[in-house]
Structure formats: structure tokens, C-alpha cells
Structure 1
Amino acid sequence: MSRFYATETEISERIEFLKDIGRSLQTANVIPSTVIFREARVAPMVRGYFLLNKAYKNWRIHSGHNTEKPKIGALMAVAINRFQPFLPIHPANVKDTAEARCNEVYALTYALSILEKPFTPDTPEKLDFWHRVLEIISGSSCVTLEPYFVDVRYQTDRALNEYTLAIQPQDKLSINSLISIFELISDKGDALRR
């Protein structure tokens, strides 16, 4: 059987990067202490991202092309939404957006960090935009990863190269929507707006 396209080193580096972002969000109290960061979910989530990325490349990217940062941000946002590494201690009694949309805040923070675009929702317009993007992330589906997610849930250990996944029709809209948003935010968006 062939090797998986991402090395264990690449996967491990991404896991640590995402753990650092999660911890930083809690240290800075962007995500409050009333939310638990379930770090054990980060490793399977990152592996899920790499599976989703492989399926995406098979669907949309021609041989020899690389996945651009807006696409990486979008696919990771979808994986984060599926694996939900953050969990409010009292989900029925959340008090604010950071608590209610903690995973979406995490996903958007990751995307903005790899796009190298700071964003502070400090005006009514920016706050409205921020809420809409968080809602889009929240509504994203990831049926494509369901076989992998089930294996993770039942602790079935399979090598990533054993999965043959294809982007499912119900996932295409959310993936394309997030890619479009992140492209417009990125440097590429400057060229698209001309």
C-alpha cells in the first residue's frame, strides 16, 4: 500500500500548532475558562483535516498544484467544526458568543493566523461580519469524514492511507463558501476586488 501524502512530522507539527492556538485563546480569555479545551481531540481532528484535504485535492485540484492557504483554512475550519475540541462546561447556559461559538472562534482564529490577517471585531460592521462567518462555520457539514470519525469514536486504528474518501455533495457548499470568504480576506482578495 502506498504512503500517505502527509508525513507524520507534518501532522505532528500541525497538531502542536493547533494546540498552541487553542491554549493561547484560553490564556488570553478569548475563549473563557467556562469552556474545556479537549486537547486529545486535536490529533484525530488534524488527521481528519489531512484526509479531507486529500479528498478535496482529488475533487478540485489538478495534479501538481498545492492547496492554498484560504483552502487550508476552510478545510481545517470544517474539521474543527466536526471534531469540536472545545466544549462549554454548561452548554445549556452559555453566556456569550465566545462560549457558544468556541469552536468556530478557534477555527476562524486558525484561518486568520495562516492567512496572516489580524482581525478585531471592534466596529458594528466588523462584529456583524464576525458573527456571520462564525454562523457559516457552525453550519458547515463534514459528511465526507464520517467513516474516519466513526473509526475514531470506536477507537479503530487504521492508517490514513487506508481511507478512500470523496467530498460528499452536502459538504461542497460549506467548503466552497468558506474558501471564498477566506480568499476575500487573504492577499488574493485584493486582486479579486480589482
Structure 2
Amino acid sequence: MKWDEFGTWGRRIADWAQDYHLTVKDKPVRARTEPGDVLNALPATPPEGGEGMEAIFADFEEIVMPGITHWQHPRFFAYFSSNAAAPSVLAEFLTSAIAPQCMLWQTSPAATEMETRMMDWLRQALDLPAEFQGVIQDSASSATLAAVLTMREKALNWRGNQEGLFAQKPLRIYCSSEVHTSVDRA
């Protein structure tokens, strides 16, 4: 696709997304596919060339959508809801369009400073003390990792990162068998 076609497809996909959210309540919550249905609907070998957007969008509707569990469905109560409010979708669209790399201040000053301000707003909304600071984690898994690393460092009197872990005392985390898989990975 060339950029001069982007607007047409952007509008079509925006209309599709709006219709999806307005009608998601009428869809089955869980996918009605069997294991292997989506895999077998995809070509076994990679394409030799690109396809047009009509074919790509048709594959999306005919192959992908039947295999989707609808997390935005009003009767979906598993796990956690995802960020699909209309303003969030549009924000993701803007973020995708500029594709910033928000790793640190130098790579994206605006993202770093916006996150700093938003975290302070959150602190104020929660009525936390002024010295409270934090960062936004991109997932439950990375938040768990940050928490486990912090626990480890606190237990080691903040020496694990500086001195390495080999000579440190062994550590344990106690949790139930119902713990999120991110705890094991962390």
C-alpha cells in the first residue's frame, strides 16, 4: 500500500472498528474455532510477494475474526479488560502513526515527560504523599518483574545489582499455586 491509499483504508478500518464495538455484544464471547482451524487456513509457505489490502482485510475478517475471543464483550469476565475505549483506540492509532521509541528521555522527551506528569496526577488522585514516585509498566508481567527485582534488591540490602548474585544468600518468594505465570518467569 502506498501512503496515498492510507486515508481510504484508515477510514474503512475506523468504520469497521466502530461497528465492531457497537455490535460486539451480539457476537459469541469465545472463538468458535477448533484447534488448528486458523493455522490450517493460513498458507503453509510464505507468500512470494505482497497482497493487496482487499485480500489482507478479507483474510482478517474470514480467518482472524472467527478465531478471536472478544475481550470487549460485555459478558467476558476472564482475565482483565483491555484498553479499547474509543479515546484509547485513537491514541494507539496516533502512537502507531508516529512509531516513537519511548525507551528513555533522549529517544522520546515528550513520552518521558508526559509519563512523569501522568504519574504525578495519579499520585494526587490516590492522595499519596508528594515524595511518592513511579513509572508505568506496559504489562502485568513487566510490573511483576519490577516488583520481584525490587524485593530481591531490598532483601540483599541493595547489593545484588552491584555485586552480582553468585555470592549472595539464597532467596525465596512464597506464593500460592494460583499465582500468575509472570511470578515464575520473574
- Shorter-chain TM range is under 0.3
Kindly indicate which of the two structures has a greater share of residues assigned to helix. 1
Asked which structure has the greater CA Rg, the reply is: 2
By relative contact order (CA 8 Å, sep 6+), the higher-ranking structure is 1
Q: Normalised by the size of structure 1, how large is the TM-score?
A: 0.22
Q: Normalised by the size of structure 2, how large is the TM-score?
A: 0.22
